DNA sequence: TAGTGGTCTAGACCACGCT
DNA sequence: GCGTGGTCTAGACCACTAG
């Protein structure tokens, strides 16, 4: 890996043009493309910083970028490795189905009785604190947990009913529609634990509202690891161009 | 705004539990919910850092989080303000239509003749460097540019044809399908200029492949500001539950 | 020109995974 | 224990905006 960066000179009297960490990012990107293969470990941060002649904090700013872009993977106590391509996760409806249908790849992790949190209360159009069932689920791809879901639905017919019963109760209703939104967020303490990340890691927050009988019947808040995931949508009519599920060499 | 943070004591001999910047983020989030309204300017970073008894770098780490979550907006030379709720941008197909159809909200910004970059060449399944038309477009919402698109398509019938002609040529073909993917990225120098952001700002990268005549006919790379945007999908059958534009209590 | 956020430095210590 | 990445400090200077 080269040591020279100087593509924007930033001599005294010249406009700095691009910040150092951005030049570093570019240099590292090129190096990754040219000289590194997936899974390979990079030199440690102190060494890299010295090699590029910058402070460690500046180098870290560049590595932060590359991690955000899914090019690098950093693990405390281990090192920094070249990340595999992002896993493509299909989030298209694949027909109008309730969660927990036939080929649903999610795994139930638990069931809790909760009062509707503000955001959920708003989406379900019920008063906040309304008793709800909270079904926890996790999505595993390529051997790693890539997403965590909190599914809020009306409580099952009996207390202490299993999560499967809650999902079955939903499936008993005709599903009229669903809408989804995707936005950037950061993992809270609980989520970061489930996703094997540190608190504050960038995540893609997917909110799904399921409607039945003319009203919102369930709300799902799914949190995807932004570093390792690519969300794919196979839209109507695209059967001729199936979306591939991600791969890891 | 309160000064006390200490929810995880971190006394000597105690496990730090949560890093300071995370506690700060929580404290600031609560303060934003309780005591601030949209558009209000926060005290400057040096003042805030002093008030919380941390170094400015640590405070900035917390502010970075909040900006990533779309809660704050920072402008150099001006200050930090409370951000409005994210703008909901519909990215669902709204029927199978080519770009540039009737009610397409995008605005053409330019047309260039380019050779296919590697990523585009792969998606279109043509050799890299194949001559293509590159149509630049921008999406404006709430008075601000929220997304930039690069649309790659076969060159128009004549050289120097207008962007409209390139789009019209696409519309002449029957659209068989499209698929989309969403992932996290960072804005390059050019994009950051167009989106009025600094290089490296987090963006949502939406890739769309349009298929016609049994093959991919065009590829669109759209870059959305992750701080201000929420991508919404109105899925089939959800006509009864239109997606609202974002709100925050 | 004053005040803001953005960049950068040179250190220190901590938490974690491995050996 | 050792080496890794993660956190934190206390400064400095720069780029930009606005009065």
Q: pLDDT (tens digit, 9 = 90+) per residue, A75-91?
A: 999 999 999 999 999 98
Distance, in Å, from the CA atom of B74 to the CA atom of B57, rounded to the nearest integer, reads 15
State the pLDDT confidence band at A238, using cuts at 50, 70 and 90.
very low
Of the spans A16-25, A71-80, B120-129, which averages the highest pLDDT?
A: A71-80
A vs B: CB pairs below 8 A: 163
CB contact, 8 Å: A160 with chain B? no
pLDDT at site A5: 35
Residues of chain A with CATH 3.40.1410.10: 87-240
Instruction: Quote the CA–CA distance of A80 and A74 in Å, as a whole number.
Output: 4
- H/E segment holding residue A58: helix A56-68
Residue with the two structure tokens 């009519």: A237
Taking only the tens place, the pLDDT of each residue in B198-212 is: 889 999 999 999 999
Lowest mean pLDDT among A66-70, B69-73, B162-166, B205-209: B162-166
Task: Express each pLDDT in B7-55 by its tens digit.
Answer: 344 343 344 578 999 999 999 999 999 999 999 999 999 999 999 999 9
Residues of chain A with CATH 1.10.10.10: 20-82
Average pLDDT of chain B to the nearest whole number:
85
pLDDT digits (tens, 9 = 90+) for A133-173: 999 999 998 788 999 999 999 886 666 568 888 898 888 88
B42 CB neighbours strand C below 7 A: yes
- Asked whether the beta carbons of residue A86 and residue B240 sit closer than 8 angstroms, the reply is no
**Domain A87-240, CATH class in plain words:** alpha beta
CATH of B20-82, picked from 1.10.10.10, 3.40.1440.10, 3.10.129.10, 3.60.150.10, is: 1.10.10.10
* Dist CA A61 CA A4 (whole Å): 18
Rounded to 5 degrees, φ, ψ at B244 are: -80, 155
Instruction: Please give the residue that has the higher pLDDT: either A93 or A50.
Output: A50
* Burial profile A208-235: b = 16 or more Cβ within 10 angstroms, e = fewer: bbbbbeeebbbbbbbbbbbbbbbbbbbb
B185 touches chain A (CB under 8 A): yes
């Amino acid at each position: 890996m080269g040591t020279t960066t100087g593509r924007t000179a930033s001599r005294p009297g010249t406009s700095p043009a691009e910040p150092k960490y951005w030049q570093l990012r570019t240099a590292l990107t090129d190096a990754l493309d040219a000289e590194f293969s997936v899974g390979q470990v990079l030199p440690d941060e102190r060494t890299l910083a010295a090699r590029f002649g910058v402070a460690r904090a500046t180098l870290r700013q560049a590595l932060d970028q590359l991690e955000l872009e899914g090019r690098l993977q950093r693990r405390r106590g281990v090192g920094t490795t070249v990340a595999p391509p992002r896993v493509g996760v299909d989030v298209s409806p694949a027909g109008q189905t309730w969660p927990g249908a036939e080929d649903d790849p999610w795994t139930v992790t638990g069931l809790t009785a909760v009062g509707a949190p503000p955001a959920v209360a708003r989406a379900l159009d019920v008063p906040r604190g309304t008793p709800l069932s909270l079904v926890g689920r996790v999505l595993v791809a390529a051997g790693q947990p890539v997403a965590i879901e909190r599914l809020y639905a009306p409580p099952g017919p009996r207390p202490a009913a299993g999560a499967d019963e809650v999902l079955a109760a939903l499936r008993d209703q005709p599903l009229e529609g669903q809408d989804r939104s995707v936005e950037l967020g950061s993992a809270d303490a609980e989520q970061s634990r489930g996703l094997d990340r540190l608190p504050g890691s960038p995540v893609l927050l997917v909110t799904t509202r399921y409607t039945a009988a003319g009203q919102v019947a369930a709300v799902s808040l799914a949190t995807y690891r932004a570093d390792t995931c690519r969300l794919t949508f196979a839209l109507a009519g695209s059967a001729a161009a199936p979306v591939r599920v991600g791969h890891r060499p």
